A and B are shown apart, each in its own frame.
Chain A
């Protein structure tokens, strides 16, 4: 009997050891995988980490703070980073600072608004609250100082909607705030749909926002009517472009100095495959910045034009992007290239 017991005990430990070594082997593989992921794709690593935190926060409520903080910061900061790709100081990131009973008073005394965050079941509400607190500060203080308040806020709202585009509930809450905030402002009411349509073709982040920020930084610290007019002019210009009704694609102002060149349809450039007419237009425009744009199959031609402008008119290519966006009601490849006078 004793012999049988000790035999089955040995067998049990052997079995346990084999299970444990298997488990450790898998953990080892997982750790190596996470280290590689962290090094190769920090963005994906962060997403996985946030999901793990979300699950863990069901077990430990304290982790819910950690989860909310990482989740909100990731959502905002990754978008802010991609916006800053087109101009370095377009927008700022977000940092969640947790306060507790010990220091809440000190934050309130320093003039902060303390925003309440609920458990993760109210994730959309938490994200929306954080964004509401973030929106008035999205644009740098220099931009806020020279830009008309309502216009700056309208632009900030569009940036925030872009950040939360995959979160319908957050977008709904932002829209609700917008509709109340601007219920008496006819100018902004008219402007917001235009900004949103410009954003649908991703021209908001690539052209409008960087140009506005740059113009405001040039104008700082003076708030001038010229600046406002030129910004409004650019918005109208981009809106006309989005609507396919672009007539005078040049702004030669004090703060904005640019031309938009849209590559014509293939059938229209059949007899001008080298795009001489477009090149001549770029030369005549004689502006600081040129944006070359095309939709669908024209991307290759547009890239060719960008290269020619760069080589023959001595412009520097700042960026060339081909991306999918809505164009005349369908998802299409859009080309956007930017050149600056050397």
Chain B
């Protein structure tokens, strides 16, 4: 295909809404997300299915991030630092 390919690329791991429910069940956090009992790892706002933006694992525990651009950006920066 005619896709623009570059020698180096950044992998962005994405989870589409089609697969979201099943993935959340598998991770064992579906009920918590639907119930809105989890809060964003960055801004501490309540996170539910409507505003879930990203997922991340820190110290073995799955953390949720809300859909605010700044929270997603901060989480990615954090993961970069942790990987380094």
Contacts and interface: CB of A to CB of B under 8 A. Distances in A.
B8 A93 contact: yes
Interface in A44-71: 45-46, 49, 61-62, 64-65, 68-70
Given A100-B22, A112-B79, A119-B17, A137 B2 contact: no
Contacts of A109: 57
* Main DSSP-derived SS at the A contact region: helix
B5, B11, B12, B68: which has the most chain A beta carbons within 10 Å? B12
Given A77-B4, A84-B6, A101-B19, A95 B76 contact: no
A22 B6 CA distance: 41
Interface stretch (A173-181, A253-261, A287-295): A173-181
Contacts, number: 186
For chain A, which range describes its interface: under 10, 10 to 19, 20 to 34, or 35 or more residues? 35 or more
A177 B27 contact: no
A73 B4 CA distance: 8
A38 B72 CA distance: 36
Interface of B: 1-6, 8-20, 22-23, 25-27, 52-57, 62, 65, 67-70, 72-77, 79-80, 82-83
Contacts of B23: 99-101, 104
A93 B57 contact: no
Interface of A: 38, 42-43, 45-46, 49, 61-62, 64-65, 68-70, 72-74, 77-78, 80-81, 84, 89, 92-102, 104-105, 107-109, 111-119, 125, 128-130, 132-138, 140, 153, 173-174, 176-177, 180-181
